[in-house]
Amino acid sequence: MSTPDVGIDQLGIYIPRHALPLDRLAAARGVPPEKISIGLGALAMAVPAPWEDTVTLGANAAARALRAGGIAPDEIGLLVVGTETAVDHAKPASIFLHELLGLTSRCRTFELKHACYGGTAGVMMAVDWVRSGAARGRKALVVATDIARYDLGSSAEFTQGAGAAALVIGAAPRLLTLDAGTGVYASNVWDFWRPLDRREALVDGKFSVDCYLDALAGALADYRGDAAPVVDRMAALLYHTPFPKMAQKAHRRLVERERPDLDGDAQTALFERSYAELVEPWLWLARQAGNTYTASLYLGLAWLAEQRGAALEGHDVGLFSYGSGCQGEFFSGRFAAGSGAHAGRIGAAALLDDRVLLDVAQYEDFVREGARGGTPSVDDGALCHLTGVRDHKRHYGRQEAIA
């Protein structure tokens, strides 16, 4: 029996409406702005309001995916949420989304964690669920949602961000068919972690970059086998992007691993040309939203799909996912015939156009109010929002039905 085509049927994303231009933060912290705009490659970061959290970001992304794909809630038989900024140590974020999205009781739902890899872990599990036949004609909904949060005034403050991506996984996908073979790499390292009693993460920055690059090399070797170099056969290459400059470092390592036969000048020329064509154009959301942890890779996919549209149909894309701790996976897919129409419904550019830019004082007020658990009146037009926390129980609301 042949294996059915399985992949991403529709993609939806969401980023907070509020953002802080990083040149404003650099001026306030006495940091040269080029250290951020050039050194990190970042221009702004999304700032969640006190009434936004991992659940609301994920629910808004999922609602956009279902609406864009014309998918009814009762078509979803599996809901997986990948996050490293969960709202509860026991109750999964997925069950809150299950209610907000109006999914049926005949739906398996749970939360996954492996740092920034959690969303991809959910995608791979959902793909296997559909391929196995257990889906019985239904689709899976995978949501990657996170808030990257560090201490005010810390060196990591510039690599904050927030956002979510929702992927509807099904047979005969209308957006991107995923290839069955992937390459993986795992190793126990302490490059990034967040103890249970901390709201902010801890990171060994330089070591984490090294771990990322080692995982990329290992996953790529496991994926490729004897196949032709991916740099020669992909229309685009997408990397997990904790900060945009990381994608450039990753692509350089990929070229070095894939084309060791080239001398230094030829290898550099291949890197510069392929980075400009295959990688750099799809980093715009990362430059504007900051680090979105599990959602990062899929925000890149959203921008690629929306910007290229029908021109991508029939073309291959390579994707590398990394989660500290660590796990890496390299996988690939092909844009389906007619995928341009579905890509055009993602609405990523419209989300950026609708943003409100904060000054540093307003940003710091949001951070402090959020840490206290405050929930001011919702005024951003988002579909789902946090309404309050009472007796340690989180309560959410939505403005209207999803479908």
- Catalytic, 34? Answer no
DSSP 164-230: EEEEEEEES-SSEEEPS--EEEE----SEE--TT-SS-EE-HHHHHHHHHHHHHHHHHHHHTTSPPG
Strand partners, 236: 317
Measured CA to CA, the distance from residue 366 to residue 377 in angstroms comes to 13
The C-alpha torsion from 121 through 48 and 64 to 321, rounded to 10°, is: -20
- Compute φ and ψ for 195, nearest 5 degrees: -55, 155
- The Cβ of residue 261 has, within 10 Å, a number of other Cβ atoms equal to 8
Q: How far is CA 380 from the centre of its chain?
A: 22
* Alpha-carbon distance values, 297 to 111, 183, 304, 356, 369 (Å): 18, 16, 11, 24, 29
Is residue 240 annotated as a catalytic residue, yes or no?
A: yes
**Would you call 308 helix, strand, or coil by DSSP?**
helix
Q: Is 18 a catalytic residue?
A: no
State the Cα–Cα distance between residues 137 and 67, nearest whole angstrom. Answer: 19
* Candidates 18, 98, 114, 240; catalytic one: 240
Of 18, 75, 114, 116, the catalytic one is: 116
Q: Active-site residue among 84, 111, 306, 329?
A: 84
- Count of alpha carbons within 13 Å of 161, Cβ hemisphere only? 29
Concatenated DSSP letters of 49-63? -TT--HHHHHHHHHH
What are the catalytic residues? 84, 116, 240
